A and B are shown apart, each in its own frame.
Chain A
Amino acid sequence: MKIDRNNILTALSILAFFLFVWWGNHHLTAYAVRIWEDTLIFLMLAAGYNLINGVAGQFSLEPNGFVAIGAYVTAILILTPAQKESMFIIEPMVPWLAHLHMSFLPALIIGGIVTAIVGFILGFPVFRVRGDYLAIVTLGFGLTIRVVSNNTITITNGALGLKGLPTYTNIWWCAVWAVLAMIVIMRIVDSAFGRAMKAIRDDEDAAIAMGINTLWMKQIAFVTAAFFEGVGGGLLASLITIISPTVFTFFLTFELLIIIVVGGLGSMTGTVIATVLVVWGSELLRVVEQPMNIFGLHIPGIPGMRMVVFSILLIVVMIFAREGIMGQREFSWDWLLNKIKGKRA
């Protein structure tokens, strides 16, 4: 009975969210819609990243690599053969890819699946190491993807990148995928699999002694994250319409890392809050990159100042709230209803 009530409340709030999306799509400015799209894509990326980093406790730095793979796969699939022919001016594209063309949904899903397969294969070597070493090898993966995309000219068009992608991504695509990602990830977390992942995070050797196949659990987290990061990459590609090896750098990973650390490692609720804070915050902070006059002192616009502000924010969080905004806690309907009842009483 109680579980039913919570499920109904969750379903209602998802419905309310989609109603808001529908309303926003008609009434918000194009700029506001664009920020919502960014927020939702980042939410999806960060939720996946939090599954592997926060829940399973495997500190890794690979999301920019996964996002890049998803973006490239989706981009190649949605470009028309004519576009590809005119774009690949250094060397022509390999024929079997040049003629491939499909609509957005299958392209996104294939992007996600290809990324998940890469994640699965990558998981075997990288999970042979733990802790800081894992961070280093996964950081290397992100860099490797960049070098590979720069040099496989017949597939990715090298440093020239892919331009003029059709803009299929709209707020609906972002909203549906983000909600789907959150549901899947939160259900994994709230099951025996999530418990096993948390056990690995707290003490891997003890988890092994409990009969948990730790490699398999890490792989589940990694592959799930890879799938949604790949799809997120596809959505981003069609949103920004131009991708090149320099688009998905380590700064993307860094931004996601800020989100999950500020929100609270292991807390999906925290991820939602922090995504909104960071994405909207970075829009508000555009001011600091503009030329400014402070008391007659002229400061020219410095690109990258926002990153400085974020770094300071991260340091402040590390000092004053080491567990992030939510720690490992999650929002629950029981908690909210108790609060409301408590106030009434």
Chain B
Amino acid sequence: MSEVILKCDRLTMRFGGLTAVRDFSIEIKEHMIFGLIGPNGAGKTTAFNMITGNLKPTEGRIYFYGQDITGLKPYKIVSLGMARTFQNIRLFSNLSVLENVLTGFHHKLKYNLIDAILRTPRFYKYESQMKEEGMALLESVRLADKANFRASELPYGERRKVEIARALATGPKLLLLDEPAAGMNPQETLDLMYFIQEVKDKFNLTVFLIEHDMKFVMNLCETIAVLDHGVKIAEGKPEEIRTNPEVIKAYLGDINA
């Protein structure tokens, strides 16, 4: 039995009078691809933002490898080994692809400001080491030939890959993907599916993703949880979810209504 990497215990998020997520509990085991689905406004991204530290949950705790990370600053959570991408791709558009990836190394930077100003041997050593590692990473996701392109010059599908590569640079054990296939055509979606699978195996990752594209989720994820109006209404294997009456109701409405 593999270890539990992420555990959410009754997470609740209230914005004023609105409860975006209520009593959200999940357990994600190492090396699985876990999907979170639900209609628009179900609270999926809110759940994500709580886990990555962008939002502080009103109630409940989050455990990462058994360590309580509730309320930690996002950059601290990243250094523990959790990285994310965004629903609408958010690259550093004026930086090159390589520089985008290098920002992911920043939290484990091995030289300080004085080294940078005085250009000490340490600076040169670690700067070139980082560039090598960055190139190696781009190589492994087959983006090396794009290293010196400005991020804003790339086509949409590749930008998504760069965003994932950038997240990989932080050295994550758990990768959170917020609607990775959003805005992609079927071919790009298929491409991305293989890409995520490949990256997961290569980097020994656990993947937690939010997605709208049912085919994508059903094919890729081993376990799926369904959110509706901030409440988890189902969790299970893809085939169980597909036939679950609660889920069908949430997506298509009540047949008896």
Residue pair A198, B117 in contact (C-beta under 8 Å)? no
With contacts A195-B99, A199-B92 taken as known, whether A209 is within 8 angstroms of B83 at the C-beta atoms is: yes
Q: Could you say which residues of chain B place their CB within 8 Å of the CB of A210?
A: 78, 83, 103-104, 106-107, 166-167, 169-170
Q: Which residue of A lies closest to B152 (CB)?
A: A202
Q: How far is the CB of B79 from chain A (nearest CB, A)?
A: 6
The number of chain A residues touching the other chain, given as a range, is: 20 to 34
Q: Which residue of B lies closest to A57 (CB)?
A: B94
Q: Which of B52, B90, B109 contacts A203 (CB 8 A)?
A: B90
Residue pair A208, B74 in contact (C-beta under 8 Å)? yes
B215 lies within 8 A of chain A by Cβ? no
A101 lies within 8 A of chain B by Cβ? no
B119 lies within 8 A of chain A by Cβ? yes
Alpha-carbon distance A211/B105, docked complex (angstroms): 8
> Which residues of A212-251 are within 8 A (CB) of B?
212-214, 220
Q: Which residue of A lies closest to B85 (CB)?
A: A209
Q: Could you say which residues of chain A place their CB within 8 Å of the CB of B109?
A: 192
Residue pair B92, A188 in contact (C-beta under 8 Å)? no
A339 lies within 8 A of chain B by Cβ? no
Residue pair B106, A196 in contact (C-beta under 8 Å)? yes
A191 lies within 8 A of chain B by Cβ? yes
Alpha-carbon distance A211/B103, docked complex (angstroms): 8
Chain A 151-190 near chain B by CB (<8 Å), digits 1 or 0:
0000000000000000000000000000000001001100
Q: Which residue of B lies closest to A207 (CB)?
A: B103
B234 lies within 8 A of chain A by Cβ? no
A334 lies within 8 A of chain B by Cβ? no
Q: Could you say which residues of chain A place their CB within 8 Å of the CB of B117?
A: 184, 187-188
Q: Which residue of A lies closest to B83 (CB)?
A: A209
> Which residues of B102-149 are within 8 A (CB) of A?
102-107, 109, 111, 113, 116-117, 119, 123, 127, 130
Q: Could you say which residues of chain A place their CB within 8 Å of the CB of B78?
A: 209-211
Q: Could you say which residues of chain A place their CB within 8 Å of the CB of B169?
A: 210
Residue pair B116, A193 in contact (C-beta under 8 Å)? yes
Alpha-carbon distance A207/B84, docked complex (angstroms): 11
Q: Which residue of A lies closest to B151 (CB)?
A: A202
With contacts A192-B105, A209-B83, A210-B103 taken as known, whether A202 is within 8 angstroms of B74 at the C-beta atoms is: no
With contacts A187-B119, A191-B123, A195-B103 taken as known, whether A211 is within 8 angstroms of B92 at the C-beta atoms is: no
Q: What 10 A-B pairs have minimum CB-CB distances, sorted nearest first? A: A211-B78, A211-B107, A191-B116, A202-B92, A206-B90, A199-B103, A199-B92, A211-B75, A203-B90, A208-B74
| Chain B interface residues toward A at CB < 8 A | 52, 54, 73-75, 78-79, 83-84, 86, 90-95, 99-100, 102-107, 109, 111, 113, 116-117, 119, 123, 127, 130, 166-167, 169-170
18 additional contacts (CB under 8 A) given A195-B103, A198-B99? A188-B116, A191-B123, A191-B127, A192-B105, A192-B109, A192-B127, A198-B94, A199-B95, A202-B91, A202-B95, A203-B90, A203-B91, A203-B92, A206-B86, A209-B83, A210-B170, A212-B106, A212-B107
13 A-B pairs within 8 Å (CB atoms) are namely A188-B113, A192-B116, A192-B130, A198-B95, A202-B92, A202-B94, A203-B92, A205-B86, A209-B78, A210-B170, A211-B78, A211-B106, A213-B107
